[in-house]
Structure 1
Amino acid sequence: MILSDRGRYSKYLRPISIFYDILVVTVLFQFFFRELGLNYLHFGFYQIVCWSIISYFSGFYEVYRYTKPLEILSKIIRQGVIFLLVVVAFFPFAKQTIFSGQLIVIYLSTAFVLISIFKFVLFYYLRHYRIATGSNLRNVIIVGYTHEAIKLKELFETRTDYGYNFLGFFSDKKHNAHIKGKIAEIGTFVNENNIDDIYCSLNELSNTQLKELVDFADINGKTIKFIPDAKEIFSKNLRIDYYEFFPLLSLQKTPFDEPLAQFSKRLFDIVFSSLVIILLLSWLTPILALLIKLESRGPVFFKQSRAGINEEHFFCFKFRSMQINNATDQLATKNDPRVTKIGKFIRKTSIDELPQFLNVLKGDMSVVGPRPHIGLINSKYTNKIKKYVLRHRVKPGITGLAQVRGARGEISSDEDMIFRIKYDVFYIENWSLLLDLKIIVQTVVNIFMGDEKAY
């Protein structure tokens, strides 16, 4: 459970809740099913995978500070019923086990009583904690001074258990003591006062102002929500939330904001990179090391500082494909004289990138994601292209959607980078494991078919 996506320490609550729930269902079945002859490893793995899939699609952990207790209870019942069916479905395939409906009911009843108690205790404790201490608050502002905006402000002040700290209105159309400033001044105020959420009354925003606010929220990692009124806003990423009976439109978070998605992607990265290291790199590395050493002096591996998630730098590993030179920050060009003979082959086939699976195993990179850029490129385009910084919200990848769509190689113009960023942003906003698999398959196809931009 998490009652806020980014509020102070709240980001830790959902992972804790997921860990607690999985621990409960994993420990309890070993206690109740001792006499059934179960293979604990198989059943435990089956349970964890099924629990993760069910909770992801049912929104079991999508509980926020404004969620109603009845809605939480509904989520628990829905999760319990579906998980019961999944547990029962395991036994027909486990021929050596004894099926006991009574033990299954006792096991799941105990598990969901413990899970429910934990969720409600945490939910009500945090509500009381916010009221008593004024901590774990989210700083908010409202854009516009309309009747609906004033009602929302009153809701923030009366429902202190929600944990919203209202810091003022911004408006170009009204002028009074409640107005902190004009819409053009929002950016400075938000950054100086650590604002978490921006609520917008659409009646007071032009289309240009609305677009600029959405872009600002994207780039600075702020949550933006809309107070619905007569104006329509078209976006496939909108969802509706209710604060009591007050409706608000929210821009959906990306899939990477969900802890379950982060966990599944990290698990996939560990498994996939381990297989590549064991089955491929273990025997290929000595061969390439010999060929690289025979042709030119220098190390077998080339490492270069690249910007990763949250712009934290790490050393990206590659098989060395160039002669030792002092222009390591200069991107390779077609017919680059620095590239060795073996280097041309391994670059053309992307074999030089294989050591990056070590980066994936370490956690610096992912198998699929936006390609990491050198510092010179980041400095050049961070302020030049609005959504460039979004690519640093996720781990960089060995391959990516931009690469399999032909957006790789030399950057000769700003349009080349804009072309890449469009694919990177699309990937971040539409990620799924299936998309990762499609990109991996297309990468392998491109390697065997040849890529004219791989040089």
Structure 2
Amino acid sequence: MRPAMNSKGNPLQPSNDMPARTWGMRLMEPTIAVAMLYLLALITGDDITGNHAVLAIITFFVSSTVFSVTDHSHMLREARLLDFVRVILTGWMIVMGVLLLLGQLTGFFEFFSMRTLVIWLAATPVALLAGQMVVHRITYSMHKTGLSRSVLIVGVNDVALKLAERIAEHPGLLMHVEGFFDDRDLSRQPEGERIPLLGTMDELPAYARKHNISTIFISQPISAQPRIKKLLTELQDTTASIYFLPDIYVFDLIQARFDNVAGVPVVAICETPFTGINSTVKRVTDIVLASLILLMLTPIMLTIAIAIKATSRGPIIFRQRRYGLSGEEIIVYKFRSMTVTEDGDKVTQATKNDSRLTPIGGFLRRSSLDELPQFFNVLQGRMSIVGPRPHAVAHNELYRKQIKGYMLRHKVKPGITGWAQVNGFRGETDTLDKMEARISYDLDYLRRWSLWLDLWIILRTVKVTIVSDKNAY
């Protein structure tokens, strides 16, 4: 079953009982990539060592992340061969780029035969395309022969319509929607939608029995509980699987998912994305990248430190109190770029041509080089490379009273860069509207987080820094 969608059309995060078919589709590409690595090693006569296992694990992790984002499983049954080629090649080029970057930074590829690696990188997309075409053909044949599950949806509303749309777009679910049942007349349906109805809720049980319906989704508000109970009682005379889409989608959901506490089912409405394996993935990625960056940039940091000491009086490192994970105070490090070190109840943001800037302070801030010491904050576990930018305590206390949901950004560790910063909200926020827009992007990051999004933000940050963002001063 496809997970339930929220009001914006985004799926709820699945619990551990996600159907095997959905997981199988997501694991196909990484499994093929790893299998090709070992197969080609055997064919070329290479000795299979622990290094192959390490490369296989990295490949599985990276490819599963990338292909879950490119999500070619949504292709319609009528998708052309060119569509599959485009998506497979795009996804594998990204995987290959990440692997080559890691290999270059660590020298890991020196443990492998270059011939085997080249053949593997070239042959894997062909195997991926073949596997995808086989699955596509099997799925299409099963649809044509009527082996897909028949679905009825009770209720015509935004969530129900989005569910029907997703089922139509994902043939791998092997489901097709036969129609809708609703007690409301057509004039009360969502604006712009006029969905023909198969009948009312009272007529649904008879229809389900007559047509041997396998699955029924009920999308009704809690206020309709008496009618739902009556319907469920009558549907006990059918063999249909019944699913309920609760009306929690009226809320602004963040990382919503189904879960259980000691066997009691619960629905998470507002939660951090970094639970379970996601927490480990995030932390390992931070440690690895922060360590590599600090090693590569140590000469630059030493040069900056000398320049700061030589051009202005005061400490090299500026320490300021900020709010971190769960709203707890942390100390954030920066190269000092101003003649003042404000950290009290009032902190004035830097402005264009600010008189407080040191001789090299403007350059440090425009290039974001003043943020480099925060990679030590990352290693300490106080910050992450990507996340909502931490604000001074004084600013937090001001804006938490003015902006709805402001403190939700503290459900994750603050970042050196973030989704708001690469979308133009870097630097001074001199109006409430600008701060509201920044917070909107921060909360959107919590909803959308993935490892791929983090990597994308890092790449965008490099681009923004190189072109010198006009908002940074």
> What TM-score results when the alignment is normalised by the length of structure 2?
0.48
